[in-house]
Amino acid sequence: MESIEEQGYNLVQLTRILPFALLNLSFSALHIVKDNDGMRNGMILWQLVYLAISVYWYFRICKKIRAKTPLMTLGFILLFFNFTWLKEFWYHPFSPDGAAFALGMGQANYFLRYEKFKLGMVSLLGAFVSPLLVISGMLMLFLPGDKLVPYVGERPKSTFPLLFAVGLPILLAIAGWGLWGWGERDIWAQIAHVISLLAMAPLSIWIAQRNTIDWEQSLALLKKRARPNRLNKGIMVLMGILLVLVLLSGKNEALGLTQMLQDIGRGSFRFPLDFLLGLVLQWGLVLLFTAMYLHRFTEQLGRQGWAAVATIWVGMAILPFFTASTLAAWVPLWAIILLKGLKRYRWHTKDLILIGCYGLLLSLAWLQVNSPELIEWLSQPARSTNLQIQKWAVHLPEYRSFWAYLIGAVLLLGVTGLLYLRKGRYQRMMTT
């Protein structure tokens, strides 16, 4: 803290600085000694503040979407019964993701009724918490809010899903062996990369088959409704925010953008669909419910307009390359869209208890984390993982081992099977 003015921050650090600035401000205002234990406890208290803000905004959202108590309970389980809130922030309090989650909940709240000024203020604060909040905020403020056009009747056949499913692995393979240095690894690691890329093809086709949006007509509507002046204002505001951040930051020569682009791919696609496993272990049942009700999710996503669609698209594009906790800013929007899609269903108390138990099981909050093995592992520059260490490292894609991936995949498939088998029993569709 004493040398902050001399050292300065680079651009990446500045976009994550607000939670730490609030901690420093609170300690200075209350004249509290800034020792290690005090700062850690202070950050934990701030995480509780972010949790309280998130819960407050969540209930405001439930009131706006007129969610009844069962649906409200289900949403609470999806958003708060996960590793992030039950474990991550208390063992790793010096993380801005709690503040990003809270502001993301605020964005979703003000986006539903399009409270423009409040949405802009939350997005501006988000510029110093997570860059994703700026992106989603600009999309919400300046893209047209018209609903996308759904398919009426039978969908026409298209070769696009097949072309996309073939082209995406090829593009990733070119980047992997050309930019990310996969060719320097041993033969088994390269085979694992090939299998991982091939697994993207059926996933892409499966998602495309459950699409309910007529993209051709929706894009034509976007071109018709989009106002050039409004879009230009959005671009100017975004560039202005970026300019302010660059001017406030220092030491950007050490940013190493090229090295960052190379590093994000080195730990990606190590195992088949491992980024989905990481997302579930981090955020719980949101992904599983999205997969089971993808048709309803896509339908509701289209009703929220191009801002929500573009935000989810960008999230899907960056998901394989960043840790799952990075999406903290967008998980609230994703979960609220899912909840709006599940309003047609009736949820009983017994079913909610079971879903809550499944959420706690997947959260891994019941696993002990602190151990002598972990302390020793954290102190080593060259880290090799084992199952004792994987209790923590399984959430870090570059350290996830094959056996931890296999155990996590079996756990995920088991919970998915239990939910799917009860799908017809614990829900009864309501009349629309």
Give the type of residue at 377. W
From first to last of the 432 residues of the chain, give the pLDDT tens digit.
455 555 567 777 788 889 988 998 898 888 788 888 888 899 999 999 999 999 999 999 999 999 899 999 999 999 999 999 998 888 888 889 999 999 999 999 999 888 889 999 999 999 899 989 999 988 888 887 788 888 877 777 777 778 888 899 999 999 889 888 888 888 988 999 999 999 999 998 888 888 888 888 888 888 887 777 777 777 888 888 888 777 777 666 656 667 677 777 777 888 999 889 889 989 989 999 998 888 889 999 989 888 899 899 888 888 888 888 889 999 999 999 999 988 888 888 888 999 999 999 888 888 877 777 777 777 777 666 777 777 777 887 778 888 888 888 898 888 888 888 777 665 655 544
In which element (H, E) is residue 235 found? helix 228-248
* C-alpha–C-alpha distance, residues 251 and 314, integer Å: 28
| Alpha-helix runs per DSSP H in 179-227 | 187-198, 200-209, 215-225
* C-alpha–C-alpha distance, residues 360 and 337, integer Å: 22
The answer to whether 186 and 229 are in contact (CB under 8 A) is: no
* C-alpha–C-alpha distance, residues 46 and 320, integer Å: 29
Best CA proximity match to 308, nearest among 164, 150, 135: 135
